[in-house]
């Protein structure tokens, strides 16, 4: 039996709560996606710094004074298995691709695996022998070029 004194929420009150939750979600989700992209980009830049340090260590300790592939760096224990594997390597929404290695020069590019509005990143990054990290806002690996271990193209140093 249902008593007339029973208290509860009306359908209108429940709809108001659902609408408020929807508005809050609509405001929060874009910020969350932007934060995730920023974190992925920061991870890519840090990955390139780590790769450059590993390349310098490998070059100074290797016979022949050459830079190594990402797999060489991982095999030597200089890089962890996440990045130190056969190129291309994917980490935190970025694909790391090496060029001109092993030799007396190297370049590594990091491009987002998904550059759409809801994707993993907006910019492409690159590092070469100098250790200067370049960024290009087009999320295209072709925007950053590698010539004799120097990253260039339409990118700018960060």
Q: Which CB contacts under 8 angstroms, 24+ apart, belong to 86-94?
A: 91/43, 91/44, 91/47, 92/39, 92/40, 92/43, 92/44, 92/47, 92/120, 93/40, 93/43, 93/119, 93/120, 93/121, 94/40, 94/41, 94/43, 94/44, 94/47, 94/120, 94/121, 94/125
Domain annotation covers residue 121 = yes
Structural domain contains residue 5: no
pLDDT per residue as tens, the chain (158 positions)? 556 666 788 899 999 999 999 999 989 888 888 899 999 999 999 999 999 999 999 988 887 788 888 998 999 899 988 888 887 899 999 999 887 556 788 899 899 998 787 788 888 999 989 999 999 887 666 677 887 777 877 778 88
Query: Is residue 68 assigned to a domain?
Result: yes
Within-domain flag for 91: yes
pLDDT at 100: 58
Q: How many domains would you assign to the chain? A: 1
H-helix or E-strand spanning residue 35 = helix 11-61
Residue 35 lies in domain: 11-157
Per-residue model confidence (pLDDT) at position 43:
95
Residue 3 falls inside a structural domain:
no
Residue 1 lies in a domain: no
Q: Write down the residue that tokens 């429940």 correspond to.
A: 14
Quick check: helix, strand or coil at residue 111? strand
**Report field, pTM of the whole predicted structure over 0.85:** no
* pLDDT number for residue 142: 67
Q: What pLDDT is stored for residue 9 in this prediction? A: 83
Is 6 within a domain? no
Residue 140 placed within a domain: yes
Q: Is the peptide bond before 88 cis (omega within 30 degrees of 0)?
A: yes
């Amino acid at each position: 039996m249902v008593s007339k004194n029973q208290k509860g929420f009306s359908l209108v009150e429940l709809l108001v709560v659902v609408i408020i939750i929807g508005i809050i979600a609509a405001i929060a989700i874009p910020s969350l996606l932007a934060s995730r992209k920023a974190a992925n980009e920061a991870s890519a830049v840090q990955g390139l710094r780590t790769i450059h340090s590993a390349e310098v260590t490998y070059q100074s300790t290797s016979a022949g004074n050459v830079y190594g592939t990402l797999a060489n760096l991982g095999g030597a224990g200089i890089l962890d298995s996440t990045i130190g594997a056969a190129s291309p390597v994917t980490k935190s929404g970025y694909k790391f691709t090496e060029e001109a290695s092993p030799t007396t020069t190297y370049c590594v590019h990091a491009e987002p695996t998904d550059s759409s509005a809801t994707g993993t990143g907006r910019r492409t990054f690159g590092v070469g022998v100098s250790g200067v990290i370049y960024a290009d806002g087009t999320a295209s690996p072709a925007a950053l070029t590698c010539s004799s271990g120097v990253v260039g193209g339409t990118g700018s140093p960060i």
